[in-house]
Amino acid sequence: MGQNKNVLRNGALKFGTVVLTTALLLTGCGGGSDNGKTAKVSLEGRYALDPETPAWKVDKKAEPTQLTWYVNADWWNTDFGKDLVTKKIKEDLNIDIKFITGDDTKLNTFFAGGDMPDMITIFDANSAVAQKASTWALPLNELAEQYDPYFNKVAAQDTLNWFKLKDEKTYGYPNYSNTQADYDSGAIPAKTAFVIRKDVYEALGSPEIGTPEQFVSVMQEIKQKYPSLIPFGFNSIGEGTGSLGDTLQDFLGVPLQTEDGQFYNRNLDEDYLAWLKTLNQAYRAGDLSDDSFADDGTAFEEKVKSGKYAAMLLDGTPQQSGNLQIFMNAHPDQAYMAIDGPQSTVGNKPTLNQSGITGWMVTYVTKKVKDPAKAIQIYTYLLDERGQLLMNYGIEGETYKKNAEGKIELLPEIKKLQQTDADRYKKDYRMGEFMFFGHDKHKALSDDAFPESIKQMQEWGKGKLVPHFILENINPDQGTPQARSLTAINTKWNTTLVSLVRAKDDAAFDAVLNEYKAFLEQNGWADIAKVRSEKMTANKEKLGLK
């Protein structure tokens, strides 16, 4: 899912946090019923529990179950039962889902005493809502035990353990949650690459760009031979770091922790700073555009689409695949390709990141659910192979077939529609979009899962992915002094990073860096690092790591 996932998640949660947190404290998350006990429905006449059979397959309930499902994002598509994917879900599960959407303010109304929906999906597993889930949601392990034990066959145990609250129960389950086993399988594709236009690369004699000296030299050569191109580009920075922050750090293999397992400030790593100084050299030579620091996501994407950058450090290749494909279709001999690019000055190997174990969208069953049995059946159905294939590829014989090698191939007319009429493809089929509990490993089942434009980039990334589990959810809790200080520090790092790359000389670079270090001291950095180290230790315990 990559960078866009984070952008969407941040957008979906940007405001209302203070109000929401206050409401949670005042109401204890409201919406609870039955003194926190699981609401029960009788299964008599419907089905008998069988750990070897998904409950939805044997549920004899005649009338369709009506469920209300709130998704905390205004952009979520609320249609249900009109496209091929949700029509099949509706038919198989005998349900009718009414999706409602909103932002944190809308979510807050539920906890302040409004009508609770049957299910809720949020986008921040570390939020106050998630941390207080025991007051308003039902434990998934208990729902499975009472209504659908097959859930335990399709849910990842590591993910369930990761989402346990202090009461040792799991209330929410995410999509795109990658476990160690997923990383080890090799089925998770890399989403980061240093790419260069094929025509430029070949015209320069396929140069090495691994050392700072080589990088500066090649960028100068590009500028001379291709004056209409921007030699080097990177993802839009906005209020964050684009691909010049942790993405570049991962590319260089900057350590994730200190030698004794404590939090490590990767922003001040000497290897990383040497490369920021290299980028500053290239900037002063005119090889980075001032526009790149101000471009929003749309402006960046337009330049990708038109091949304006000679080379880029690109994060979120799946999200950029459409733009890369447009350029590839128009100029096949100029298409972007991944190369090794900048390398660590101290010999570290790349440690590229992907979706972690926390995932993205986290879905809960509330205590007000009308039919808890049907709710947990949704989890089981979508987590199982049948649901995953449906969400990604549709229905065998209607939208895809399996070839002689067992790989999934979209039928020619479906593939053509996907490439030529994205709007109709989305409206009629919705494959790849309705992704509650979706997982990247199912993309490996088909060569049609990703466009041609990024396949070589993903091939380049094989063997370079390293889980960053220990760094997930380690920020200070919302509302604490450390959390407020960290917000100020993150804002300061955004401006510092830009100022470092754009410094007018070495002295200015050093002055900006020293100012940032002083800012850390003045804003209680030691306390933040202590909290992060403690949470890293807790993460290791959850995952059974030393």
Report the pLDDT value the prediction gives residue 33, as an integer from 0 to 100: 39
Give mean pLDDT, residues 129-142: 96
Band (21; pLDDT cuts 50, 70, 90):
very low
- pLDDT tens column, 203-219: 999 999 999 999 999 99
Report the pLDDT value the prediction gives residue 8, as an integer from 0 to 100: 40
* Residues 153, 466, 266: CA angle, nearest 5 degrees: 130
Band (7; pLDDT cuts 50, 70, 90):
very low
Q: Is 18 helix (H, G, I), strand (E, B) or coil?
A: helix
Give the Cβ contact number of residue 261 at 10 Å.
Answer: 15
Percent of the chain with pLDDT over 70: 93
Give mean pLDDT, residues 179-203: 94
Give mean pLDDT, residues 152-160: 95
Report the pLDDT value the prediction gives residue 265, as an integer from 0 to 100: 98
Burial of residue 147, with CB atoms counted within 10 A of its CB: 0-12 exposed, 13-18 middle, 19 or more buried: buried
Give the Cβ contact number of residue 207 at 10 Å.
Answer: 15
Nearest to 179 by CA among 469, 412, 473, 511: 469
Q: Does an H or E element contain 497, and which?
A: helix 481-501
Chain centroid, CA 246 distance in Å = 14
Mean pLDDT of the chain: 91
Report the pLDDT value the prediction gives residue 56, as an integer from 0 to 100: 98
Stronger pLDDT, 542 or 385, i.e. the higher one: 385
Q: Does an H or E element contain 539, and which?
A: helix 525-543
Band (198; pLDDT cuts 50, 70, 90):
very high
Find all residues with CB under 8 Å of 440, minimum gap 6, and list them.
Answer: 1, 176, 178, 182, 187, 188, 189, 354, 355
Report the pLDDT value the prediction gives residue 30, as an integer from 0 to 100: 46
Report the pLDDT value the prediction gives residue 148, as an integer from 0 to 100: 98
Q: Does pLDDT of 34 surpass 50?
A: no
CA pair distance 36, 56, nearest whole angstrom:
26
- Comparing 14-28, 85-99, 175-189, 376-390, the range with the smallest average pLDDT is 14-28
97 φ, ψ to 5°?
-100, 130
Q: Which residue has the tokens 């890399």?
A: 190
**Whole-angstrom Cα Rg for the chain:** 25
Percent of the chain with pLDDT over 90: 79
- pLDDT tens column, 456-503: 999 999 999 999 999 999 999 888 999 999 999 999 999 999 999 999
C-alpha distances (whole Å) from 36 to each of 200, 302, 370, 375, 451 are: 64, 51, 15, 17, 47
What is the separation, in whole angstroms, between the first and last Cα of the chain?
29
- Comparing 7-21, 47-61, 85-99, 431-445, the range with the smallest average pLDDT is 7-21
Domains of the chain: residue spans and CATH: 2-34+50-183+357-394 (3.40.190.10), 192-351 (3.40.190.10), 474-543 (no CATH)
C-alpha distances (whole Å) from 217 to each of 53, 212, 271, 325, 498 are: 63, 9, 19, 29, 22
25 φ, ψ to 5°?
-70, -40
Q: Does an H or E element contain 294, and which?
A: helix 291-294
With beta carbons less than 8 A apart as the criterion, state whether 366 and 132 touch: no
Q: Does pLDDT of 32 surpass 50?
A: no
- Residue 190, both tokens: 């890399």
Stronger pLDDT, 425 or 270, i.e. the higher one: 270
Stronger pLDDT, 543 or 262, i.e. the higher one: 262
Burial of residue 136, with CB atoms counted within 10 A of its CB: 0-12 exposed, 13-18 middle, 19 or more buried: buried
- Comparing 16-30, 236-250, 305-319, 376-390, the range with the smallest average pLDDT is 16-30
With beta carbons less than 8 A apart as the criterion, state whether 471 and 256 touch: yes
Find all residues with CB under 8 Å of 132, minimum gap 6, and list them.
Answer: 24, 28, 29
Q: Which residue has the tokens 């090495």?
A: 208
Report the pLDDT value the prediction gives residue 239, as an integer from 0 to 100: 86
Band (18; pLDDT cuts 50, 70, 90):
very low
301 φ, ψ to 5°?
-65, -35
Q: What is the pTM of this model?
A: 0.83
Give mean pLDDT, residues 62-68: 97
CA pair distance 291, 330, nearest whole angstrom:
25
Nearest to 241 by CA among 464, 39, 7: 7
Q: Does pLDDT of 58 surpass 70?
A: yes
E strand segments, 272-318: 309-315
Give the Cβ contact number of residue 37 at 10 Å.
Answer: 11
Give the Cβ contact number of residue 330 at 10 Å.
Answer: 12
Q: Does pLDDT of 442 surpass 80?
A: yes
Give mean pLDDT, residues 415-435: 87
Band (39; pLDDT cuts 50, 70, 90):
low
- Residue 232, both tokens: 């080097």
C-alpha distances (whole Å) from 171 to each of 174, 327, 362, 499 are: 10, 44, 9, 43
